[in-house]
Amino acid sequence: MKDKSRGLFSLSVKDSEYFKDKEDKIEFVSCVRLGKDCKEHRSVINKNYHESRKFLLNKDYPRSIEALKNAYYMTSDLQDSACSKCAELFRETITQSLEIIHEDLEKLSGSLFRGKQYQYSYGLATNVLREFKKES
């Protein structure tokens, strides 16, 4: 588990080899505002993150990427200055997850026998990562 403390609040991001449906990827640890401003956002972000993991486990890469994209853009609604560092952490976590998917798809799309099957998903992941980089 990674703890990221920044000033008067801290969040934790769970790293686990095994996906657990009931656990949130991003959990509230402490906040000046007691997490009231981002409660709904965290819920939606975690829901999208869970959906992405489920799609990924079923090798439905396009839907997994789209769920991560939805989670990423949900962080842009956290405009308050107290929430900006949390939103940054959320975006970093989502981007890292998409980069891992992208790397896996790069390997799969380069495969001699199954490469064409994953080329669309690889291109989609590449484009979404570009979008994320433009946003940051």
Separation of alpha carbons 74 and 84, rounded Å: 13
Q: What is the mean pLDDT of the chain?
A: 80
Q: Which residues of 105-135 are buried (b: 16+ CB within 10 A; e: fewer)?
A: beebbeeeeeeeebeebbebbeebbeebeee
In SS3 terms, 63-82 reads as HHHHHHHHHHHHHHHCCCCC
Place of tokens 């997994």: 64
3-state SS of the chain: helix, strand, coil percent to 5? 60, 10, 30
CB 40 within 8 A of CB 50: no
Place of tokens 């990674």: 2
CB 88 within 8 A of CB 81: no
Domain ranges of the chain: 36-135
Which tens digits make up the pLDDT trace of 15-52? Answer: 444 445 556 666 666 676 667 777 788 889 889 999 99
Take residue 13 and report the two structure tokens written for it: 């991001």
Dihedral sign, Cα of residue 48, residue 88, residue 11, residue 39: negative
Least confident of 7-11, 24-28, 49-53, 65-69: 7-11
Separation of alpha carbons 62 and 51, rounded Å: 12
**Report for 10-19, 23-32, 123-132: range of highest mean pLDDT:** 123-132
